[in-house]
Amino acid sequence: MAEKERNERLIQMRGKRSRAEVARDTGISERALQSYELGDRIPRDDVKIRLAEYYKRSVKYLFF
């Protein structure tokens, strides 16, 4: 998956929820989530798993 698609998918999955809400519920910082959505950083594997579980999707769907 291209980087731009990955970034857009993360934003799409967040939907109407705020970054603060998702960050709080997944145990990551709001700034980190923003960095993942903008493509400035790629999350560590454990964070990929937390986001996938939160969004009820597979890691493969979200990141690959």
Cα–Cα–Cα angle for 36, 56, 10, nearest 5°? 20
d(CA 55, CA 40): 21
Residue 36 CB neighbours (<10 A)? 22
| The two three-digit tokens of residue 15, written as one number | 């939907």
Q: What are 6-60's pLDDT values in tens digits?
A: 999 999 999 999 999 999 999 999 999 999 999 999 999 999 999 999 999 999 9
Ordered by where they begin, the domains of the chain are 3-63 (1.10.260.40)
Q: Is the pLDDT of residue 1 over 80?
A: no
Residue 62 near residue 10 (C-beta atoms within 8 A): yes
